[in-house]
């Protein structure tokens, strides 16, 4: 796992800053962010983007209810999880 200073050395902070300001991220840059950027820096940039994109809805949170409905008894008899 790379250290945060490595992420900065790779120039990822400039990519995060550009994204937070509304700029585009290339697929290669996105892969580098996924692999090397510190989680806190990614979250901070994502929050900045969310606040700008959905201004006025800062106090609204949404979620998705995910349901897995098994139509057979395979899971009852053979699931290992």
Task: Give pLDDT, residue 26.
Answer: 96
Query: Tens digit of pLDDT for each residue in 62-74?
Result: 888 887 776 776 6
pTM: 0.59
Q: 77 to each of 11, 27, 37, 68, 73, how far by Cα in Å?
A: 51, 42, 42, 16, 6
Q: How far apart are the first and last CA of the chain?
A: 28
Q: How far apart are CA 59 and CA 35, in angstroms?
A: 31
Report the 10 Å Cβ neighbour count for 48.
Answer: 16
């Amino acid at each position: 796992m790379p250290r945060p200073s490595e992420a900065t050395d790779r120039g990822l902070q400039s990519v995060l800053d550009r994204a937070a300001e509304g700029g585009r991220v290339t697929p290669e840059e996105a892969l580098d962010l996924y692999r090397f950027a510190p989680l806190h820096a990614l979250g901070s940039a994502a929050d900045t983007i969310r606040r700008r994109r959905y201004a006025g809805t800062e106090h609204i949170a949404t979620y998705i209810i995910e349901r897995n409905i098994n139509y057979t008894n395979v899971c009852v008899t053979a699931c290992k999880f």
